[in-house]
A and B are shown apart, each in its own frame.
Chain A
Amino acid sequence: MKVQQISVFIENKTGRLAEVTRVLGGADISIRALSLADTSDFGILRLIVDQTDKAQAILRQDGFTVSKTEVVAIEVPDRPKGLNEILEILEQAGINVEYMYAFVDRRGGRAIIIFRFEDIEKALATLPKSGVQLIKSEIFQTP
């Protein structure tokens, strides 16, 4: 139930982000979710796309530094306390979150949160037992 995420190193310079989306767009790759972590000098763009390997290859070809990371996508009920319930489960199990970002899946009436865990295996072993709904990577692919 792991989901592949690609990360791209981006200098804080005008037009670099647009260059990434231009390259992806040019290769007909759809972005499903993204987050940008930024510092004063550089940013790290994290992307879930429909064709991970292809995206990684063409971004590399364009001179970007790209890495692939395994993350977990979790379904959260789209209502008050939805996220809090998940975080409490993680806290009780002692599972450390490196970072996370969320988006709302309108069709499914749910929120999806992408988690990068310090120990992904432990998270995968624990979460389903507590009734947390993991999302399969297939939903990010274009049908």
Chain B
Amino acid sequence: MIWNDDFETLPREAIEALQLKRLQQTVARVQATVPFYREHFARAGVSADQIGSLQDLRRLPFTLKQDLRDNYPYGLFAVPLEQIVRIHASSGTTGKPTVVGYTRRDIETWSELMARSFAAAGADKGDVIHNAYGYGLFTGGLGAHYGAERIGASVIPMSGGNTKKQIMIMQDFGSTVLTCTPSYCLFLAEAAAEEGLDIRNFKLRVGIHGAEPWSEKMREEIEQKLGIKAIDIYGLSEILGPGVGIECIEAQNGLHIWEDHFIPEIINPESGEVLPHGEHGELVITTITKEGIPLIRYRTRDITRLLPEPCICGRTHMRLKRMSGRSDDMLIIRGVNVFPSQIESVLFNIEGIDPHYQLVVDREGNLDTLEVQVEVNEKTFSDEVKEMQNLSRRIRKDIKDLLGVTCSVRLVEPKTLARSEGKAVRVIDKRKSLDS
């Protein structure tokens, strides 16, 4: 179902005309109200009146996460605090959190875009939406909540954690739509099975999963283990929160980015050069309707590509290919770029392997080492040592074949790798502690 026909199916020329008008307004506004942008543009030798076409966007300098940190907490806000009705922040695990503020209209926009997203995922007002994204400073919980209310569904504000209760409520309340991270989704299925419940018999129909990169194989796993359609959603607090883009249930191939509110670009993460549609690179987003904290050419660090081709669902907004990783999550192991999601897809291709794995990167002498820890389960366990060694060898070989990286494989006991209720921690990079 299409939530907002007027905007979601706008012809390309109309989208672009709207984008240009809104871009010009946004650039002029931040130049006038945010000292950071005034100086930032001046240093780049560009000003708002030079934006005559969408092509001129690339004359503007990038905004980085570091810029938000440097202007902590409110320095990038474009309106006085009395117009801000909500404040969210990133987790801040790597330093000060990045703080974002929403005006009343921003909250409206966000709810609208989340409503579009729910509708694209096939959710409707008759649904019982079980929202297991964390509520709080993290944008996931409240973002999904407001969108779910907007479409008129019955929302269960579960937040994260308390897994046993999640399962009980899901079963007793007849939840039909589940919103949570993809790794938590599988954790829920596992936890239900431990209680002797088959989550496939619940009323769940659709899962809307995001907040961490995941693979196509993981989607298959989720769809099979939960008996649902699993939909990929994209968002980041700096830009809005969840609902920046979402897959439609019709195609399940690429995430429509709401182009009447955001302008996406793909750049080469090293050179900053804008790449043509279809090429892989870092996603850069310019917000063109946000009031609280508009961002110009924000480097998301997410690696993807743009699919401009029309979609079977009828929406005209371009799609982003499933995120293959983050440029800052990318591991460089002995000079080779490795994304955790690539290793995940190798593991999923091996019959019987569980999705629980962890990568431990370390350095011995001057050489990087990669250890892939994989949990053994009853499907992969054999009483013969040689079979188990074959399994390790197979994993090692497949990773080497696909990524060109030699790793060691450590088979570990089930349920020994940390389960996450939010974003999964897949990588332990011990080299980082060596550097500091």
Contact = CB atoms under 8 A, between A and B. Distances in A.
Interface of A: 5, 7, 9-11, 16, 37, 39, 41-42, 44, 46, 63-67, 69, 98-99, 116
B413 interface: yes
A67 B411 contact: no
B416 interface: yes
Contact of B411 (A5, A7, A42, A64): A42
Given A39-B388, A98-B384, 9 more contacts: A9-B413, A11-B411, A16-B413, A44-B383, A63-B413, A63-B414, A64-B414, A65-B414, A67-B382
Contacts of A46: 383
A42 to B, nearest CB: 6
Interface string B414-428: 111000000000000
The 4 A-B pairs at the shortest CB distance, nearest first, are namely A7-B383, A65-B381, A37-B385, A69-B383
A10 B410 CA distance: 12
Interface residues of B, number: 17
**Chain A binding surface, main DSSP class:** strand
Contacts of A37: 385
A67 B411 CA distance: 16
A17 to B, nearest CB: 12
Contacts of A5: 383
A83 B385 CA distance: 23
Contacts, number: 52
**Chain B binding surface, main DSSP class:** loop
A9 B385 contact: no
Given A9-B413, A11-B416, A65-B413, A99 B384 contact: yes
22 contacts: A7-B382, A7-B383, A9-B413, A10-B413, A11-B413, A37-B385, A39-B385, A39-B388, A41-B411, A44-B385, A44-B388, A64-B413, A65-B376, A65-B378, A65-B381, A66-B381, A67-B378, A67-B382, A67-B383, A98-B384, A99-B384, A116-B384
A11 B411 CA distance: 8
Nearest to B412: A11
Contact of B410 (A7, A41, A67): A41
Contacts of B224: none
A64 B414 CA distance: 7
Interface of B: 376-378, 381-385, 388-389, 410-416
A63 to B, nearest CB: 5
A116 B384 CA distance: 9
Contacts of B384: 44, 98-99, 116
Contacts of A64: 413-414
Contact of B378 (A63, A66, A69, A98): A66
A49 to B, nearest CB: 14
A9 B410 contact: no
A27 B389 CA distance: 32
A55 B415 CA distance: 20
Nearest to A11: B413
A53 B378 CA distance: 15
Nearest to B375: A65
A56 to B, nearest CB: 10
A110 to B, nearest CB: 25
